[in-house]
Amino acid sequence: MICVLLVAGHGTLLESEIKNEATGLYSHLVGIPKALLPGVGGKKILDFWWEVVNIRQLFSDVYLVTNADKYKYYERWATANDFPVENIINDGSTTSQTQLGAVADLELVIRSKRFNDDVMVVAGDMLCEDLNFDIAEVLKFFKFKKGELAIYYEMEEGEKTESRGIVEVCPLTHRITKFYEKPSSEVTESRLASVVFYCFQNKTLPTLGEYLKMHLLVEDRRLGKYMEWLINKTGITVFGMKLPTGFQLIGQVDLSEYKKWLACYSSKQHGIAAKSITCRSYARIGIMGNPSDGFYGKTIAMTISNFWADAMIFESKKVVLIPHPLNDPTEFGSLQDLHRISRKEGYLGGLRLLQATCKKFYQYCSEQGIALAKRNFTLKYDTNIPRQVGLAGSSAIVSATLKCLMKFYDLIDDDLPKPLRANFILNVETEELIITAGLQDRVVQVYEGLVYMDFNKELLEKQGYGSYVPMDISCAPHFWLAYMGDPSDSGKIHSNVRQRWLNGDSDVVAAMKTFAELTDLAKIAIESRNWSQLSELMNKNFELRRSIYTDACLGQGNLRMVELGRQFGSAVKLPGSGGAVIGLCLDPDNLVELKKAFQEAGFVICDVVPYGP
């Protein structure tokens, strides 16, 4: 592949303001082209691009196109930076009146050097906001898509569409459906800006000459105009790849913007230490409808602030995943200690969740055309969610880790929307780690708060996710939560119900339909604060679950907690896969005695504290 760096512009606003600056502080920069102005640590803008593309494994040759007026500046830069002088192309122009235009400059290189390769073309006088930009990710996506490629980014609040090329991108195929060169804000609602950073297949390069024959005016020979024609008129497929961070010093910038850029990058480079990012996801309780989320049913669930999982990430030289001292033990006091810990907590801690999330995150970004910065990190986690009691501890770790990765690599919500984020978390567990799970926990941990969820089959197949409706968390009643201090593996509770459902077992199919009906009634009861009705529905939810899973699968510990709660007139049900119960006790005196009874029976009990966003 060939790389072409374009730096042939004339008479920039920045050069003019430097020349006329009154204080004389910038007099030593008069005449120096924008791409060679000094930046942070003495590095120039062009130095950044040369470091990025000077990789023999990626590019067979790199060319630089400039004009006759600035040629000597670039020749001097080339000799000082080991850039082949013979690869500097002089387009012969000396003023803005005689300039050729970027399309003609690109066509000049292709015609004069007679190469038959794919081409990446970049404006060499702009700068990627993230200096750790990884060019290999761009080329990988270009080869994967087998079409033309344009880089774009999400515009910041102060940027105006009139100064950028604006693209509309299909979120499913990543194909650019429309390209507008410097449109007014009324033309399109898109805030996705394309810069001069394109990859072209060799077979598409002849269109440059075709375009030049049809457009003789230099103002029409901008690459943005060419891309507008290529996408909107010819119908040639052009894909878009997003950079999570934007670009600086694009096109015509003034002295104040240059000084702002210097200050910004100076502060970044002189940062004292790598700043860590900590994200938290909360445990959840299933209030109604579970476990029908895995069977196209409906549920209501709520995040609680009693328990949570934290993930922390910070920049480092290598990617390092730190085992948790309690959850990922590698040392034991004795063989008996190893036996006790393994029997109680199993063999699989949280480290595998971190690794699987990172793997899936990279895969998602590669497939979605999101170019991640070339930055490594150290990642660790902590959690106080009791293990194996069905409070969504595993998905909380994955959710918190995903939040960290998104923040670390500057992804925004639109890059991974909430409904798809829940799918992502589920896929980490089901596809990467073969954990039996449903969507409910991941949805409520992504949306947070009190959430009504409809997993209708037709809806899931049509749009890839269900209907998720946040509810007013102030409507939530005063639940209590109890769990076993020494639970069995909660995964066993699923038994053979799924296989029976797949086989069309009429009892299971009818039960899942009834779960959904109970959920709709519970939504009405919660919104109207009809706690007696909700209590009745909670008990029905448990009995229905009991009827299809059987007592043997539910286990004596779960049944004992349910029976104990009911002795005090409380509604009781399982909030998850097993190991814990939630209850709703409407008599305050009974609630006091209920708590004592649970404690005396060896269970852990607490008041549920709802968590809302």
* Cα–Cα dist 129/243, whole Å: 10
Q: Is the peptide bond before 291 cis (omega within 30 degrees of 0)?
A: yes
Predicted confidence band at 294 (pLDDT cuts at 50, 70, 90)? very high
**Of 603 and 41, the one with more pLDDT:** 603
Q: Would you state the pLDDT for residue 489?
A: 40
Segment 557-568, tens digit of pLDDT: 999 999 999 999
Percent of the chain with pLDDT over 70: 96
Predicted confidence band at 157 (pLDDT cuts at 50, 70, 90)? confident
Look at residue 441 and tell me whether its pLDDT is greater than 80: yes
Segment 225-236, tens digit of pLDDT: 999 999 999 989
Question: Could you report how far apart the first and last alpha carbons of the chain are, in Å?
Answer: 48
SS3 378: strand
Predicted confidence band at 100 (pLDDT cuts at 50, 70, 90)? very high
State the chain's mean pLDDT as an integer.
91
441 is catalytic: yes
* Cα–Cα dist 542/291, whole Å: 10
Q: Would you state the pLDDT for residue 444?
A: 98
Q: Would you state the pLDDT for residue 590?
A: 97
Tell me the backbone φ, ψ of residue 152, rounded to 5 degrees. Answer: -140, 165
Percent of the chain with pLDDT over 90: 73
* Cα–Cα dist 597/347, whole Å: 32
Q: How far is CA 66 from the centre of its chain?
A: 38
Segment 124-136, tens digit of pLDDT: 888 777 767 788 9
Q: Would you state the pLDDT for residue 502?
A: 93
Look at residue 491 and tell me whether its pLDDT is greater than 50: no
Q: How many CB atoms lie within 10 A of CB 122?
A: 23
The model's pTM is 0.84
Q: Would you state the pLDDT for residue 247?
A: 77
Q: Are strands 176-181 and 127-128 parallel, antiparallel or unpaired?
A: unpaired
Q: Would you state the pLDDT for residue 267?
A: 56
* Cα–Cα dist 447/598, whole Å: 32
* Cα–Cα dist 105/6, whole Å: 8
* Cα–Cα dist 548/534, whole Å: 22
> Are 469 and 451 spatial neighbours (Cβ–Cβ below 8 Å)?
yes
Residue 155 burial by Cβ neighbours in a 10 Å radius (0-12, 13-18, 19+): middle
> Are 154 and 412 spatial neighbours (Cβ–Cβ below 8 Å)?
yes
- Two structure tokens written together for 166: 């604006």
For residues 12-26, average pLDDT: 79
For residues 365-375, average pLDDT: 91
- Two structure tokens written together for 223: 């690459």
Residue 352 burial by Cβ neighbours in a 10 Å radius (0-12, 13-18, 19+): middle
Give me the CATH code for the 279-607 domain, please: 3.30.230.120
| 166: β partners | 180, 193
Q: How far is CA 332 from the centre of its chain?
A: 38
Predicted confidence band at 272 (pLDDT cuts at 50, 70, 90)? very low
Q: What is the dihedral of CA 299, 305, 308, 313, to 10 degrees?
A: 110
Where do the domains of the chain lie? 2-269, 279-607
SS3 452: strand
Half-sphere exposure of 248 (CA within 13 A, CB side): 21
Name the active-site residue from 69, 91, 310, 441.
441
* Cα–Cα dist 252/230, whole Å: 24
For residues 204-214, average pLDDT: 96
Superfamily of domain 2-269 in CATH is: Spore Coat Polysaccharide Biosynthesis Protein SpsA; Chain A (3.90.550.10)
Q: Running DSSP on this structure, what letter comes out for residue 173?
A: T
DSSP 231-287: IIII---EEEEE-SS-EES-SS--HHHHHHHHHHHHHHHT-SSPPPEEEEEEEEEEE
* Cα–Cα dist 181/194, whole Å: 9
Beta-strand ranges (E) seen in 99-200 are 119-123, 127-128, 148-154, 165-169, 176-181, 192-200
For residues 343-368, average pLDDT: 91
